[in-house]
Amino acid sequence: MSTHAAPARPEDHDALGVREYLHLVWQRIRGGETGILPVLGGFILVSIIFQVLDQQYLTAGNLINLLVQSAVFMLLGMAEVLVLLLGEIDLSVGFVAGVSAVVLAWLAQPQVGWPWWATILAALVVTALIGLLQGSLVTRIGLPSFVVTLGGLLFWNGVMLFVLGNGGAILIRDDVLVQISSGTLSRPVGWVVMIVLVALWAALMWRRDARRRTSSLPAPPLALTITKIVAAFAGGAGLILLANADRGIRAPVYGLPWVVLVVLAVLLVWSFLLGRRRFGVYVYAVGGNAEAARRAGINLARIRTAGFVLCSLTAGIAGIVYASRLRSISTSMDGGTLVLYAVAAAVIGGTSLFGGRGKAIHGVLGGVVIAAINNGMGLLGFSAAAKYVVTAVVLVVAVTIDALARRRQSG
């Protein structure tokens, strides 16, 4: 760093010191851009509480279980983030996931006999069309999304019950479909996948920071970039070590669950779309100030409709994971509770209910927190009633943080 030429003007921080950079970050946090800090803090807090109350909580087996349990919440949380960003809400995601599961299971029955990939494709196409329908009602006719998707919640629940029949269920016997949730990578493959993913991420981040430095734009200090990369490797290695430990009770079970990669893939694609593409900027612009977006020449209807389509599509993926985990879909699926968890996951993760602020990762982190509460209270033998109460309290706390951060930002 010492060979770096002195900046021409003092305000050009092209070579920020670590301390200076951390100071800037701290200023942002104080300004209300708290990012993922509250939810990370919440997760650590929840984990400490449960670990103190029950030593079972922080075991390799339970943590990986937790990850698998939270997959549906994470996916639904990400789905909800996409519409919350636009300042809308989608209350139908739970039963849209249900419809997806029904389509998948129905087509995969031996008497219908579609191959596994075709059933997945069909489920996703159906859910995307549902999103298109609901999104069009909201944007073209101008109905409030609350009402349209509340109608959707009932309607798709009805459709599900209609197909499944009273108290009915469809079992899934297809091997691949079942493996989505319960299959695992072999130990060495888990390591390879982790190392490749982290290395790719590190290379991209390294290149981006290097470019900023050569263009004499403010860039994070080298030491921080290296710290991040080391931390990512450590985190990845920790995850693989946990996953590769034997967590079976009767027979040995080990390896990274496939479903973790499914969630990761959705997270990466949506993060890329929201963060690196023009579409993403437009989503934030529409959610932040729709009139400003319109005056900038952005087609509001198209962006909003696309948001609903992507939301329903993500809910469709969640439905596939749900059905795969239960190896069936039945009328006992509670889409109403799922949608509340989806909104809660997004908001607990740090996405604003008021539009314009949020990220895909918020759905994932919020989903983990919700699953952690469920899982930990389950271990402690609490009833569903107690779980609801605690989840509700966490949700209200999260919304309060959101509202306070907003007030701080505008004040």
Partner 1 sequence: MPATRGAATAADTQTLLRLTGVSKAFGPVQALTDVRLDVPAGAVTALVGDNGAGKSTLIKCISGISPPDAGTIAWKGREVRIDSPTVANDLGIQTVYQDLALCDNLDIVQNMFLGRERLRRGQLNELSMEQAAAQTLSELAVTTVRSVRQLVASLSGGQRQSVAIAKAVLWQSELVIMDEPTAALGVAQTRMVLDLVRTLVERGQAVLLVSHNLLDVFEVADRIAVMRQGRLVDVRPTARTNQAIVVDLMTTGETSRSVEQAT
Q: Write the DSSP symbol of residue 355.
A: S
- Among 24, 23, 5, smallest CA distance to 15 is for 5
Q: Which is nearer to partner 1, 53 or 296 (CB)?
A: 296
Chain residues 341-370 in contact with partner 1, contact rule CB under 8 A? 356-357
Count helices and strands (H / E) in the chain: 16, 2
- Lay out the site mask for partner 1 across 288-317 (x = CB under 8 A, - = otherwise): xx-xxxxxxxx-------------------
Q: Which is nearer to partner 1, 5 or 251 (CB)?
A: 5
Q: Which is nearer to partner 1, 4 or 408 (CB)?
A: 408
Q: Which is nearer to partner 1, 175 or 291 (CB)?
A: 291
Q: Is the dihedral of CA 134, 139, 140, 142 positive or negative?
A: positive
Q: Which is nearer to partner 1, 358 or 367 (CB)?
A: 358
Selected binder of partner 1 within 284, 308, 322, 341 (CB under 8 A) = 284
**Backbone phi, psi, residue 169, to 5°:** -155, 155
Q: What string of DSSP letters covers 25-53?
A: HHHHHHTT--TTHHHHHHHHHHHHHHHHH
Q: Which is nearer to partner 1, 140 or 408 (CB)?
A: 408
Q: Does 405 contact partner 1 by CB under 8 A?
A: no
**In this structure, how many other beta carbons lie within 10 angstroms of the beta carbon of residue 48?**
12
Distance, in Å, from the CA atom of 284 to the CA atom of 343, rounded to the nearest integer, reads 18
Tell me whether residue 151 is exposed, middle or buried, using C-beta atoms within 10 angstroms of its C-beta: 0 to 12, 13 to 18, 19 or more: middle
Q: Does 211 contact partner 1 by CB under 8 A?
A: yes
Q: Which is nearer to partner 1, 7 or 378 (CB)?
A: 7
Distance, in Å, from the CA atom of 245 to the CA atom of 254, rounded to the nearest integer, reads 6
- Least distance from C-beta 286 to partner 1, angstroms? 9
Chain residues 117-146 in contact with partner 1, contact rule CB under 8 A? none
- Binding piece for partner 1, criterion CB under 8 A, among 140-148, 178-186, 211-219, 330-338: 211-219
The answer to whether 353 and 37 have CB atoms below 8 angstroms apart is: no
In one-letter notation, the amino acid at residue 303 is I
Binding-residue total with partner 1 (CB under 8 A): 30
Q: Which is nearer to partner 1, 103 or 290 (CB)?
A: 290
Residues whose CB is less than 8 angstroms from the CB of residue 91 and which lie 6 or more positions away in sequence, other chains included? 146, 149, 150, 152, 153, 339
- Binding piece for partner 1, criterion CB under 8 A, among 45-53, 213-221, 318-326, 380-388: 213-221
- Binding piece for partner 1, criterion CB under 8 A, among 50-58, 187-195, 277-285, 377-385: 277-285
Here the contacts of 187-190 (C-beta below 8 Å, separation 24 or greater) are 187/244, 187/254, 187/255, 189/255, 190/240, 190/243, 190/244, 190/255, 190/256
- Least distance from C-beta 244 to partner 1, angstroms? 35
Chain residues 8-47 in contact with partner 1, contact rule CB under 8 A? 11, 24, 31, 33
- Binding piece for partner 1, criterion CB under 8 A, among 138-146, 271-279, 316-324, 373-381: 271-279
- Lay out the site mask for partner 1 across 170-189 (x = CB under 8 A, - = otherwise): --------------------
| Helices of type H across 109-170 | 116-139, 145-164
Q: Which is nearer to partner 1, 192 or 301 (CB)?
A: 301
- Binding piece for partner 1, criterion CB under 8 A, among 131-139, 249-257, 272-280, 390-398: 272-280
The answer to whether 57 and 51 have CB atoms below 8 angstroms apart is: yes
Q: Does 269 contact partner 1 by CB under 8 A?
A: no
Binding interface with partner 1 (CB under 8 A): 11, 24, 31, 33, 211-212, 215, 217-218, 276-278, 281, 284-285, 287-289, 291-298, 356-357, 409-410
